[in-house]
C-alpha cells in the first residue's frame, strides 16, 4: 500500500487537462481576473461559502492565499487549482483538494466554486472529472470526500454526475455564510465497485 504521493516537492503541480478546461496552480498574475470574477459572482457564491473576510478581494489577501496554497502543497495537505477555459484561457472558477490525510486514511476533501457567468456550462463537471485521476493516480489517494448544503441542487447534481455517492448527513457540519449548516456527505473511492464511473 502506498502511503505517500508521487508528486515531487521541487516541481510545480502539473497542468491537468480536462474536457474544455485546464486546472493549474494559482499565480499572482491571476489576481485581477480572479478578483473580478469573484466580485461579479459575490451574490451567487455567498450562500454556499464561508463568510468572506472584509479584505478578501484585495491583492494582499490574494498574496496570502497563494502563500497558503504553496505551504499546503509543500506539506502535502492540500492542492489548489484555478480552472481555465481551453478556448480562450478565461478563468471560470477554482477547485481544491484539501484536508489530505495520509497513513491509513489516504483521503482528501473536494471543494469548488464557479463564477456566475460560467454556471451550468459543464466546466466544473469537466474539472472534477479531470481531477479524479490525478487524486487517485498521482497523489495515490484512496478516497475523495465532498459535502454540500441540502438545498444546493447544483452541487448535488455535480457530485452524483461525477461518481460521488451520498453517504450521510452531518448536522451543523460547516459554518457557511456565518451560520452552522447541515450538509450532505459524499464520497468516491479509488476503484470501488459500488461507485459508478464518471
What is the DSSP annotation of 14-58? PPEE-SSEEEE---GGGHHHHHHHHHHTHHHHGGGSPPPPTTTTS
In a domain, 43, yes or no: yes
Beta carbons within 8 Å of 104's beta carbon, 6+ residues apart:
none
> 25 is in which domain, residue-wise?
16-141
- Residue 58 counted as domain residue: yes
Is residue 151, in this structure, part of any structural domain at all? Answer: no
pLDDT in tens, the chain (198 residues): 445 555 555 566 789 999 999 999 999 999 999 999 999 999 999 999 999 999 999 999 999 999 999 999 999 999 999 999 999 999 999 999 999 999 999 999 999 999 999 999 999 999 999 999 999 999 999 999 999 999 999 999 999 999 999 999 999 999 999 999 999 999 999 985 444 444
H/E segment holding residue 167: strand 165-176
- The answer to whether residue 152 sits within a structural domain is no
Q: Quick one: pLDDT at residue 187?
A: 98
Residue 34 lies in a domain: yes
Q: What is the CATH number of the domain that holds 120?
A: 3.40.630.30
What pLDDT, on the 0 to 100 scale, is given for residue 14? 85
What sign has the CA pseudo-torsion 145, 149, 151, 153?
A: negative
Assign residue 165 a region: left if phi > 0, alpha if psi is -120 to 50, beta otherwise? Answer: beta
pLDDT at position 74: 93
Q: 65 in a domain, yes or no?
A: yes
Q: Number of structural domains, the chain?
A: 1
Identify the CA nearest to 92 among candidates 58, 135, 62, 126: 126
The answer to whether residue 189 sits within a structural domain is no
CA 184 from centre of chain: 16
What is the rounded CA–CA span in Å between residue 109 and residue 96? 8
Residue with cell 479509488: 190
In a domain, 159, yes or no: no
Amino acid at each position: 500500500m502506498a502511503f505517500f504521493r508521487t508528486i515531487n516537492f521541487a516541481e510545480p503541480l502539473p497542468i491537468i487537462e480536462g474536457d474544455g478546461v485546464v486546472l493549474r496552480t494559482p499565480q499572482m498574475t491571476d489576481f485581477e481576473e480572479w478578483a473580478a470574477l469573484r466580485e461579479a459572482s459575490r451574490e451567487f457564491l455567498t450562500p454556499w461559502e464561508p463568510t468572506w473576510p472584509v479584505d478578501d478581494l484585495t491583492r494582499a489577501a490574494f498574496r496570502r492565499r497563494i502563500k497558503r496554497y504553496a505551504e499546503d502543497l509543500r506539506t502535502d495537505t492540500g492542492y489548489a487549482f484555478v480552472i481555465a477555459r481551453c478556448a480562450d484561457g478565461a478563468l471560470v472558477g477554482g477547485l481544491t483538494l484539501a484536508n489530505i490525510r495520509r497513513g491509513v486514511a489516504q483521503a482528501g476533501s473536494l471543494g469548488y466554486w464557479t463564477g456566475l457567468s460560467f454556471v451550468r456550462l459543464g466546466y466544473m463537471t469537466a474539472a472534477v472529472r479531470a481531477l479524479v485521476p490525478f487524486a487517485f493516480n498521482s497523489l495515490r489517494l484512496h478516497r475523495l470526500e465532498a459535502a454540500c448544503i441540502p438545498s444546493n441542487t447544483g452541487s448535488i447534481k455535480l457530485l452524483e454526475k461525477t461518481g460521488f455517492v451520498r453517504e450521510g448527513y452531518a448536522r451543523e457540519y460547516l459554518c457557511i455564510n456565518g451560520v452552522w449548516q447541515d450538509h450532505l456527505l459524499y464520497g468516491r473511492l479509488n476503484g470501488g465497485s459500488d461507485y459508478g464511473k464518471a
